[in-house]
Chains A and B, each alone.
Chain A
Amino acid sequence: MITLQINGQSHTVDAPDDMPLLWVLRDMIGLTGAKYGCGIGRCGACTVHLDGKAEHSCMVSVGSVGKRAVTTIEAIGDTPTGAKVQQAWVDAKVAQCGYCQAGQIMTATALLNHTPNPNDADIDAAMAGALCRCGTYVRLRQAIKNAAK
């Protein structure tokens, strides 16, 4: 049995230690906001925060999470930066299919928490791991800048 702190709540799950956090969230806890895209850390669709740091949850074994606070897209709107980013996303109409956008928003929120006024190079560096197959990059960049204002 493993106990996790997720979005401010405590959850105990019967999962093997090496099960990726992504699948614990999606299939055991029922938080399906973090998405499966590649399972090998190459797309960013599964991004969550561990103690505020953006991590690919497909690459984090549930046994390694320990006491770190897990925040997912479902609760990121409870933080001031997360709420700002979500609003900027809706206002810039970033999403096309929307599948990658939870990961994009979690990555962008971590960026803004760390670098409140990112320049293009900061955005490139932080967001390069987050693939968007629909090609929403133009608006995504604008939305990050709008959220930073």
Chain B
Amino acid sequence: MSSSTVSLFAESDASIREWMHTARSPSSSALPLDRRGFLKLAGAGLALGFYLPGGARADSETPQAAGAASQSPAMNAFVRVAPDNTVTVYSKAPEIGQGIKTALGLIIAEEMDADWSRTVVEQAPIDAKVYGYQGAGGSTTIPRAWDQLRQAGAAAKAMLIAAAAQQWGVNPAEITTRDSVLTHAASGKSATYGSLAAAAAKLPAPDAATLKLKTRGQYRLLGRRFRGVDDAKIVCGQPLFGIDVRLPGMVYASFTKCPAAGGKVKSANLDEIKAQPGVIDAFVVEGNGRLTEVMPGVAIIARNTWAAFEVQDKLNVVWDESGASRDSSSELAARAKQYAAGPFPAPDRDVGNVERAFASAAKIVDAYYEYPFVAHANMEPQNATAWWHDGVMELWAPTQQPNRGLSQVAALLGLPEDKVVVHQTRVGNGFGRRLINDYMCEAAAIARRVKGPVKLQWSREDDFAHDFLRPAGYHQFKGAIDPQGRLDAWQEHFITFTADGKNPAAGADYSRFLAYSCKAPNLRRGLTLMDLKTPTGPWRAPGDNAQVFAQQGFMHELALAAGRDHVEFLIDAVRREVPELAPKSKDVNFDPERAVGVIKLCAEKTGWGKSLPKGRGLGLAWCYSHAGHAAQAVELSVDANKRITIHRVVVAVDVGQVVELAGAESQAQGACVDAFSMALAQQINIENGRVREHNFGAYPILRIPFAPAAVEVYFVESDFPPTGMGEPALPAMAPAIANAIFAATGERLRAMPFSRFGYRV
């Protein structure tokens, strides 16, 4: 049970919770369209005019990649129009592979009636005062930016129309726009946006209330498939990522921390290290004791990355592990099982009367579900480049939370925030790991002691050792089916972790999305918290990525116990009116009929109910996750050696208006592969506080021969405003596979990874 000892990590854990809350809040952060809040930068160069020696402009991705940024007239902080009619729009959020740069650009261009073929999307400077929140997490970027960007596009269009009306002496209401051209039909006049940009930029920004935004039927861009705006650069290997940053005179750093979280440096063989070839310097960084910022370690400054890595092997640090983690994942799993067998804890949720339901039940089902710790294993190992010069800390970072990183670095170094400049680079995927800016803070702390720019690069081994893991979890379920075959009671004892002795650790709390979609008229839930010092955090679809596996697997068991068709049973349960479980806030868009919509669409496209050859199984699951409703079905076969072959994957999703279809499909395909990979074979083991898996050899990520050859993705057409696609298509995949394996073999998989039962590909 939770102890009341004050955890070493209480503070960092609280800070993770704080940003998880921020990242999850679905509210739009539309800025007021007045001159104060909505920066209008006529001609003056957008916000940060930061120049590198040699004149290269450095406000866009990596400095060597930054072209001559547009100096053409600005309509507002999001839109510039050049005399040659090229429109430049600014993407305010990190591109982590979710396709946001293309999607945000399209939203602005749509409202503006810009010619997409002549629209350039650039990364916006990091400045919360101008752009509001600029993070990417919790699939919230699109819903948060939706109103703001539509207003920015519409405002730019209104200013161009006003300029044309003035010049032509006509009524602005009679001017139409299309593909960056303004037309006044009655007089036969027409002009490009570019020819009027300078005049338009001098006009006052319109009042947001006067802007008429388009309706769904008027869209010419949204909902269609477009290429990625940076794809041409990606396929040519252009420098876009944090790891690609190169600055004149730059040196390279590695940073070695205690393999058990919380350890401190006692001593290190610094003199010996400094004498190694390629090494420039080596020093101890004390850090501020926060896992999410800078923990104690040894920085090695070298002439290249390889030297910085190689010398790590020669480094001998004596660690003070008195306050460090001694966690053991196998011991925690064993303890969880004991708690599950013990008394039910004081419930934190008690709806109806489960005891009465159990007493009158036609069937009672008990089951214990569990899943392990998993790593993010971002393809691009953590890195950041920092340069301390002229009283300014300038950083280039592949982060999911640049605004927060900026504030953290300022506080860490005792600098005012305007003395910290952050350049957002492309990110070699995020999955939640880069919501935490530890590597960025470390780079800043190291750069403070180095002359000239320094790139901190974590090795793959560092990256595995110092992740913020998806926490393991353990669920003891008891369910009741009433005499009519309906779900009547749901009792769940969730055994999870705490870092502060009071609250669930980051990423270890009950999914708030499941709280709406898991419905039984009698429902009781209770938590047991086990102390954990190993850092945890959000992993793609936090909470849901594993809890939906447990919940949807158990729902399948209940449907079978009830003798009902699985799909029919799911629909019956989600339609059940349980007022206590209904969302209280209108910001929560959970809708039972949208859930039914995706379940039905998925079942229909899969051919639910069809007879399958022997050895084949069809499984289905659904979830409401991160404001999206999604259902997945998997058809697979299992051979005598428990080798799984996936024949078909069908995904049905309702995320409201689809912004860019090819990217949305991509997210669903990637999520299915990611979830299969995780469910099949991924597991992080911790012993004596140390992560045992150090590289891809011990931590398998699915490879192409074993990935599904196709993933069919269907979107429900609807007028709901768009929500994000990074997460909703992930959680239901693992239970769909497990349910299909049950259908094929009769073996119920109540734990991930499935490889522990001998399953493989």
Contact = CB atoms under 8 A, between A and B. Distances in A.
Interface of A: 16, 19-20, 23, 26-28, 30-40, 42-43, 45, 72-74, 77, 86, 89-91, 93, 95-102, 105, 120, 123-125, 127-141
Contacts of A124: 704-705
Contacts of B428: 35, 97-99
B661 to A, nearest CB: 10
A133 B306 contact: no
B224 to A, nearest CB: 12
Given A35-B243, A77-B236, A96 B305 contact: no
Interface of B: 95-99, 225, 227-228, 230-232, 234-241, 243-244, 246, 252, 277-278, 304-306, 309, 377-381, 426-430, 457, 459-460, 662-663, 666-667, 669-674, 677, 695-697, 701-705, 707-711
A43 B702 CA distance: 11
Given A42-B696, A95-B228, A98-B230, A128 B237 contact: no
A35 B663 contact: no
Contacts of A35: 241, 243, 379-380, 428
Contacts of B380: 35, 37, 97, 99
B231 A89 contact: yes
Nearest 10 CB-CB pairs, A to B? A33-B237, A135-B673, A97-B97, A73-B237, A99-B428, A124-B705, A96-B97, A135-B670, A98-B234, A23-B306
B702 to A, nearest CB: 7
Contacts of A43: 379, 696
A17 to B, nearest CB: 12
Given A27-B305, A124-B704, A135-B672, A93 B666 contact: yes
Contacts of A130: 703-704
Contact of A97 (B225, B429, B711): B429
B376 to A, nearest CB: 9
A99 B429 contact: yes
Q: Is the interface of B mostly helix, strand, loop or mixed?
A: loop
A31 B702 CA distance: 29
Contacts of B708: 138
Contacts of B666: 93, 96, 136, 139
A19 B696 CA distance: 22
A101 B235 contact: yes
Nearest to A137: B707
B498 to A, nearest CB: 30
Contacts of B277: 16
Nearest to A34: B237
Contacts of B673: 135, 137-138
B509 to A, nearest CB: 26
6 contacts: A27-B305, A38-B696, A99-B97, A99-B379, A102-B237, A133-B379
A35 B244 CA distance: 9
B732 to A, nearest CB: 16
B228 A93 contact: yes
Nearest to B669: A138
A19 B306 contact: yes
Nearest to A39: B460
Given A36-B243, A39-B460, 15 more contacts: A19-B306, A26-B305, A35-B241, A39-B309, A95-B231, A97-B96, A98-B230, A120-B709, A124-B704, A125-B705, A134-B97, A134-B674, A138-B707, A139-B669, A141-B709
A138 B711 CA distance: 7
Q: Which of B230, B306, B671, B709 has the most CB of A within 10 A?
A: B306
B460 A38 contact: yes
A124 B701 CA distance: 15
A98 B707 contact: no
Contact of B379 (A19, A77, A132): A132
A12 to B, nearest CB: 16
Nearest to B703: A128
A28 B704 contact: no
B670 A134 contact: yes
B482 to A, nearest CB: 41
Contacts of B709: 120, 138, 141
A27 B231 contact: no
A95 to B, nearest CB: 5
B429 A134 contact: yes
A6 B95 CA distance: 31
Nearest to B97: A97
Contact of A135 (B98, B663, B671, B696): B671
A133 B378 CA distance: 7
A141 B629 CA distance: 28
Contacts of B381: 36-37
Contact of B235 (A16, A95, A125, A128): A95
A65 to B, nearest CB: 15
A27 B243 contact: no
Nearest to B705: A124
A98 B97 contact: yes
B701 A36 contact: no
A128 B707 CA distance: 10
A56 to B, nearest CB: 12
B536 to A, nearest CB: 20
Nearest to B378: A133
B227 A32 contact: no
B238 to A, nearest CB: 7
Nearest to A93: B662
A132 B696 CA distance: 12
B460 A89 contact: no
Tell me which of B95, B231, B701 has the highest count of chain A C-beta atoms within 10 A of its own C-beta: B231
B704 A123 contact: yes
B306 A138 contact: no
Given A27-B252, A89-B235, A40 B695 contact: yes
A136 B673 CA distance: 8
Nearest to A91: B227
Contact of B696 (A23, A28, A131, A137): A131
A90 B156 CA distance: 30
Contacts of A98: 97, 230-231, 234, 240-241, 426, 428
A96 B99 contact: yes
Nearest to A89: B235
Nearest to A73: B237
Contacts of B234: 89, 95, 98, 101-102
Nearest to B673: A135
A72 B99 CA distance: 26
A93 B231 contact: yes
A27 B380 CA distance: 16
Contact of B703 (A38, A131, A139): A131
Taking each of A31, A100, A130, A138, which has the highest tally of chain B beta carbons within 10 Å of its own beta carbon?
A138
A124 B707 CA distance: 10
A131 B701 contact: yes
Contacts of B304: 19, 23, 27-28
A95 B304 CA distance: 29
A100 B378 CA distance: 11
Given A97-B97, A98-B234, A140-B704, A36 B674 contact: no
